[in-house]
Amino acid sequence: MTYELYYWTGIPGRGEFVRLALEEVEADYVDIGREAGDKEVISMLDASTTPSFAPPFLRHGEVVVGQTAAILFYLGPLLGLVTEDERLRLWTHQIQLTIADMTAEAHDVHHPLGPGRYYEDQKDEALRRAEEFRASRVPKFLGWFERILTDNPAGRDFLVGKSLSYADLSLFHLVDGLNYAFPRLTKTLAPRYPTVMALHERVRQRPQIATYLASDRRTPFNVDGIFRHYPELDAEG
Amino acid sequence: MTYELYYWTGIPGRGEFVRLALEEVEADYVDIGREAGDKEVISMLDASTTPSFAPPFLRHGEVVVGQTAAILFYLGPLLGLVTEDERLRLWTHQIQLTIADMTAEAHDVHHPLGPGRYYEDQKDEALRRAEEFRASRVPKFLGWFERILTDNPAGRDFLVGKSLSYADLSLFHLVDGLNYAFPRLTKTLAPRYPTVMALHERVRQRPQIATYLASDRRTPFNVDGIFRHYPELDAEG
């Protein structure tokens, strides 16, 4: 049964966390935004009996599920991208929710006054928010990912157990987003989080992910998305 | 087996979403922060093999789970506070994640530049962020909750199905927090969201919840928590 991913066109955004999971296993999926445009996404948003507050959401047969982490929780077992151990499934989900929290903060750096105003209208505030993000929040989050990777009793290759989960793919995307948005920060901080950076590199080289990243299905990062490169917000860490 | 809730003392915070679920069913639980202080919370945060990024987290036998929505996802079946239907369990979780999103935005109103600075040092920015929160975000979120309540095929008494779930308790707390933090806004907006407000009132009058709210186990809202009453951030809607 085909998976239908509903997300805005033109940005990787939160849809990319779902897309990476679908691409890794070569799932049979349709990217509705790309195929049919944003209007179709909005139309389905209004039509569902379990409507998502916002994209992304996924349709799979009669299931319509929104919230990125919930979508991946649903997809994980179907795509073979999560362990069968119930307790570790919950742990994988908990990690995913923490990735979501950091993603939201990465967005709020350029939109500290809320999503409704343009960046240009809140640039001074963004400069101030970026200071704390770089100095305190990024080290705290990356430090947590480094710790749980190094503490994984099954080894440091994956976040949970000894095989790939959707959380590994999402952590790859998070680091990828930081690399794009804050290149000076990420480059100078990287030596402090070697296990996180090694995971990012390994995921990047996985055959299906590498094929996907080189394809026209991959939307490049840009300054309309969650991770935005504004040089004035970046600095060495 | 006793549930141990780990959360900061002195504020209802995100721990309150979990506490309400435990209180509704008179679960056998210990509020570790209240009993043993913040040091014990921090100590356990560092000791777990599945460490939460931040409180709240729950210990139940060998399970240690963090992230408010994940805690409730775990507790729901154990406390009888979620349906047995798998698809509706996912929907309940999706609603909870949206409640978490609105809660985070309610926090960011008074901390637009990040959690590390005092409110007094970001008050001008908070005044600007509050405008958009009141005019656009609160109506969008409350409108969504109103819609899914009125569209519940099993009736308007509960968010999912025809019995109480942890999401109903959490929506109660969210509205309660808005009532405290933004009394003028909430009072003037309330007539537009009658089903949400009716649910809030029904939950408040449930016997166990009423008993809990009147007890000394309930920490009152205050200006150290997520929902803060700063009169200058409030206005009619």
Contact B114 A98 (CB under 8 A): no
> Quick one: average pLDDT of A95-104?
98
Distances, alpha carbon A28 to alpha carbons A3, A71, A207, A214, B117, in Å: 6, 16, 17, 19, 47
- Taking only the tens place, the pLDDT of each residue in A184-200 is 999 999 999 999 999 99
Q: Hey, of A58, A110, A113, which one would you mutate to test binding to chain B, going by the most B CBs within 10 A of its CB?
A: A113
Considering its fold, how many domains does chain A have in total? 1
Domain that holds residue A198: 86-206
> Quick one: average pLDDT of A212-228?
97
CA distance B207 to chain A (A): 30
- Taking only the tens place, the pLDDT of each residue in A179-188 is 999 999 999 9
Domain-embedded: residue B22? yes
Domain-embedded: residue A231? no
Domain-embedded: residue A145? yes
What per-residue confidence (pLDDT) applies to A48?
A: 83
Domain-embedded: residue A100? yes
| Same domain as B199, residue B117 | yes
Three-state DSSP class for residue A119: helix
Query: Which residue shows structure tokens 């509960």?
Result: B158
Give the CATH number, domain containing residue B155: 1.20.1050.10
Domain-embedded: residue B235? no
Judge whether B173 and B167 are in contact, CB under 8 Å.
no
| Same domain as B163, residue B129 | yes
| Same domain as B202, residue B123 | yes
Domain-embedded: residue A93? yes
For A30, phi then psi, to 5°, come to: -120, 130
| Same domain as B115, residue B42 | no
> How would you write the pLDDT of chain B (237 residues) with one tens digit per residue?
999 999 999 999 999 999 999 999 999 999 999 999 999 999 998 888 899 999 999 999 999 999 999 999 999 999 999 999 999 999 999 999 999 999 999 999 999 999 899 999 999 999 999 999 999 999 999 999 999 999 999 999 999 999 999 999 999 999 999 999 999 999 999 999 999 999 999 999 999 999 999 999 999 999 999 999 999 999 999
Give the residue among A136, A152, A137, A54 at the shortest CA–CA distance from A95: A152
| Same domain as B19, residue B124 | no
CA distance B211 to chain A (A): 32
Helix A123-132 and helix B123-132: axis angle, to 10°? 110
**Is B117 at the interface with chain A, CB within 8 A?**
yes
**Is B85 at the interface with chain A, CB within 8 A?**
no
Three-state DSSP class for residue B171: helix
Q: Which residues of A touch B113 (CB under 8 A)?
A: 112, 125, 128-129, 132
Domain-embedded: residue B118? yes
| Same domain as B90, residue B46 | no
DSSP character at residue A36: H
Domain-embedded: residue A105? yes
Residues whose CB is less than 8 angstroms from the CB of residue A128 and which lie 6 or more positions away in sequence, other chains included: A112, B113, B125
Task: Give the other-Cβ count within 10 Å of B98's Cβ.
Answer: 24
Does a cis peptide bond (omega within 30 degrees of 0) precede residue A55? no
DSSP character at residue B231: G
The complex's ipTM works out to: 0.97
